[in-house]
Amino acid sequence: MICFIQESPLDYLIYYPIIKHLEEKKKEHIVYDTTGKSTVEMLHFLGQNPNINRVINYGGSYRKMSFAMLCKEYEQKFINLHGDERDTQDNGISFLDIISRLAYQNYVVSDPARTFLLDEGIQTPIGIFECPITHLSRKSQNVEPFDILYISGDKVSIDRHERELLKNKISYRVFDYSDGLPQNWKTIYSLISTAKMIVSDSFMFDKPSRYLNKHMFYLGSGVLDYSNLGKSTHLVSKKLELHDYIKQSWRTLEDINPKHGLQSLLTIL
């Protein structure tokens, strides 16, 4: 059985394209939400599910790091997605760095990302795949064209920017995850595919934006990967209005090849 580790509602957006494949192949899977869980509870969960043979993780947190440590101790195969991303906590610790070192295997989207991990001294096997969000968005049917896909978990920010976008006659769609994934959450892949640009408070959409040739305006504070910064991903300053960025003349992004797909990951599940 494949176990997916979730702490943010957005984690499921990366996992769903993989889960979709598992369902088609009639393979067992479980999604374990670590929110609020103690190490003892996580250990109990693993003990109650001895048929788990792969654990898939995206992202870093104290609890996800703890789960990775348990998997390492009990020889569970912990597969870490986008293992080249890095965070820095106030105490200088990077959960993402530790998790990538604890993992049984890391997956990244490019050869430069793989080289980065090797230079960091990561000893695990490193696979190359296409970000699952990118993969499913690329295959999704487009909807009616619009300018901005606004992805946020902050209702105050959504309300403020909606007024600004309406005032400046910018067409947009909102994906609000403040109360968890919305009922129509599966539409996000088509929305990402169709939108001209993406605005989000989550860095998760950095790679899908670049690999789908879209500019992304990042409202968050933690930059997890600098490779697309200033190219397709742009930090939004609080000194400027959002439409000041959107209405600039942004250069057309070059297509990135090859498109790796998910096969390298799916074959080991």
Query: What's the predicted TM-score (pTM) here?
Result: 0.96
**Domain spans of the chain, in order of start:** 2-128, 141-246
Mean pLDDT of 40-49: 96
* pLDDT, position 62: 95
The residue assigned the tokens 């789908």 is: 212
Sign of CA dihedral 14, 17, 23, 25: negative
DSSP class of 250: P
- Say how many Å lie between the first and final Cα of the chain, rounded: 9
Domain 2-128, classified CATH 3.40.50.300, yes or no: no
* pLDDT, position 237: 86
Rounded to the nearest 5°, which phi and psi values hold at 130? -95, 135
Write the DSSP string, 40-95: HHHHHHHHH-TT--EEEEES--HHHHHHHHHHHHTT--EEEETTT-----TTS--H
Q: Are 55 and 78 in contact (CB under 8 A)?
A: yes
Grade residue 221 by pLDDT with cuts at 50, 70 and 90. Answer: confident
Domain 141-246, classified CATH 3.40.50.2000, yes or no: no
Alpha helices (H) along 123-186: 132-139, 155-167
Q: Are 54 and 29 in contact (CB under 8 A)?
A: no
Residue 209 predicted with pLDDT over 90: yes
Nearest Cα neighbor of 69 from 41, 103, 35 is 103
Mean pLDDT computed over every residue of the chain: 95
Gap between the Cα atoms of 10 and 201, Å rounded: 11
Mean pLDDT of 10-37: 97
Residues 148-181 have pLDDT tens digits of: 999 999 999 999 999 999 999 999 999 999 999 9
* Residues 6 or more apart in contact with residue 54 via CB below 8 angstroms: 2, 3, 76, 77, 79, 268, 269
Share of the chain above pLDDT 70, in %: 100
* pLDDT, position 257: 79
Residues 66-125 have pLDDT tens digits of: 999 999 999 999 999 999 999 988 777 899 999 999 999 999 999 999 999 999 999 999
